[in-house]
Amino acid sequence: MPPPSPSDHVSFRLHLSDKIFYVKQFNPSDNIPVDYLNSLQTNSSNFISITRTNEEISIVGETDDVSDKDASWRCIRIAGPMDFGVTGVMCNFTTPLKAANIPVFAVSTWNTDYILVPKDRAEQAVQALKEDGWTFV
């Protein structure tokens, strides 16, 4: 299946979150801090992703705490849900950001993809994606 054109389907519309996001890294031998585990257990609508590998633990989440030194990201989300058979989505999503020299941190879920960009470059990222044909809602 060919890569999707950004505007071909409503599932590929983008949304820039108003929230600030953090990215934290821990040693894989560490226990995951209880506050993050508790976040997974609440009925909160806040985004949190915890990934453990043999090399690290990465925790990504949204926060209202602008004093958190790791809260330096904004999140662009593909509307989704996307069929697993569609290929090239992440490549098409990040290529205009690469061309604009905007760093990204990607998180994928069953339904969709999330791209974090530095918060001071968020508007530039939106502009680069719009110029590439992506639609924001």
What domain count does the chain have?
Answer: 1
Residue 24's domain comprises: 10-131
Query: Residue 4 falls within a domain, yes or no?
Result: no
Calculate mean pLDDT across residues 69-83: 91
* pLDDT confidence of residue 65: 87
Taking Cα atoms as reference points, which of 72, 134, 71 lies closest to residue 100? 134
Nearest-angstrom CA–CA distance, 50 and 61:
9
CATH, residue 25: 3.30.2130.10
The fraction of the chain above a pLDDT of 90, given in percent, is 67
Query: Residue 137 falls within a domain, yes or no?
Result: no
Query: Residue 45 falls within a domain, yes or no?
Result: yes
Answer yes or no: is pLDDT of 73 > 60.
Answer: yes
pTM of the shown model: 0.88
Answer yes or no: is pLDDT of 1 > 90.
Answer: no
Query: Residue 93 falls within a domain, yes or no?
Result: yes
Angle at 18 between CA 16 and CA 19, to 5 degrees: 115
Q: What is the pLDDT of residues 8-50, one digit of tens each?
A: 667 889 999 999 999 999 999 999 999 999 988 887 788 999 9
Query: Residue 1 falls within a domain, yes or no?
Result: no
